[in-house]
Amino acid sequence: MFFNDAQLCAQRWQSCASCHDADGRMDALNWDLLNDGVGNPKNTKSLLWTHQTAPVMALGVRASAEVAVRAGIHHILFTQQPEDVPAAIDAYLKSLAYLLCL
């Protein structure tokens, strides 16, 4: 629920799913977010298995997915949330699985 909830954003206009699709996959777009300054667009990456493959983020700048989730809430959504919110997002991301389509 929190992954898709724009109410977590300071201005209520974006959620994690705005960039990572509702199921944590990539959206094939380049985003230029304010967390690393203007003029640094990055392609959205899939979040599947990110909790098992540190470091994370487009350039590997976060030590773990848990750190990245909390930094994203702070530096991209511009809010502070109680620990149960990022913990729930972590649990959701850990639950994602690849689907085999033949």
In-domain check, residue 100: no
By the 8 A CB rule, do 12 and 81 touch?
Answer: no
In-domain check, residue 30: yes
In-domain check, residue 22: yes
The residues near 89 (Cβ < 8 Å, ≥ 6 apart) are 2, 3, 16, 69
In-domain check, residue 17: yes
- For residue 86, whether the previous peptide bond is cis, meaning omega lies within 30 degrees of 0, is no
How many independent structural domains does the chain possess? 1
In-domain check, residue 87: yes
pLDDT digits (tens, 9 = 90+) for 17-73: 988 887 888 888 888 877 677 888 888 888 999 999 999 987 888 999 999 999 999
Backbone φ and ψ of 49, nearest 5°:
65, 15
- For residue 82, whether the previous peptide bond is cis, meaning omega lies within 30 degrees of 0, is no
Does pLDDT of 98 surpass 80?
no
Full domain range(s) for residue 12: 2-95
What pTM does this model have? Answer: 0.87
In-domain check, residue 101: no
Domain of residue 60, CATH code: 1.10.760.10
